[in-house]
């Protein structure tokens, strides 16, 4: 199996974070009436909703971990 390149993943994550921040800034500017909505806004909106989905998956994972930890605690008792 191919070995995971951790540095590469971190770099990707950082790059994605930048993209998400840009998208959110674009949306905020349009909502504040600093800009008019364009195609870019549409792409930004899609990016932000993708970000939302990823984030919600992350939160779900963490919540699941908490849940399992709680069940373990019960089991030990």
Partner 1 sequence: MPFKNPEKLRTYRRNYYENHKEELRSHHRKYYQERREVISLSRKKFREIHGDEIRAYGRDYYQNHREKILAGCKKYGLDHRAEKRIYLREYWHANKEKLVAQQKRYRHDHREDINASARKYRQDHGEEINARIRKYRRETGIKNRLEARNSNQLRDSYIKRLLGQQFNIPHHLLDQQIISEKRELLQVIRLVRKIKPLIKEVSL
Please report, as ranges, the residues that interact with partner 1 according to CB under 8 A. Answer: 24, 27-28, 30-31, 37-39, 41-42, 44-45, 48-49, 51-52, 55-56, 58-60, 62-64, 66-67, 69-70
Exposed e or buried b per residue across 5-37, where buried means at least 16 C-beta atoms within 10 angstroms of its C-beta: eeeeeeeeeeeeeeebeebeebbeebeeeeeee
CA gap 14, 48 in Å, rounded: 16
Least distance CB 1 / partner 1 (angstroms): 31
User: In this complex, which beta carbon is closest to partner 1, that of residue 6 or of residue 69?
Assistant: 69
Least distance CB 3 / partner 1 (angstroms): 30
């Amino acid at each position: 199996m191919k070995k995971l390149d951790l540095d590469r993943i971190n770099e990707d994550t950082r790059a994605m974070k930048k993209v998400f921040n840009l998208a959110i800034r674009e949306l905020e500017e349009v909502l504040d009436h600093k800009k008019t909505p364009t195609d870019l806004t549409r792409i930004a909106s899609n990016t932000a909703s993708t970000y939302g989905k990823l984030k919600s998956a992350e939160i779900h994972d963490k919540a699941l971990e908490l849940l399992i930890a709680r069940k373990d605690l019960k089991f030990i008792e």
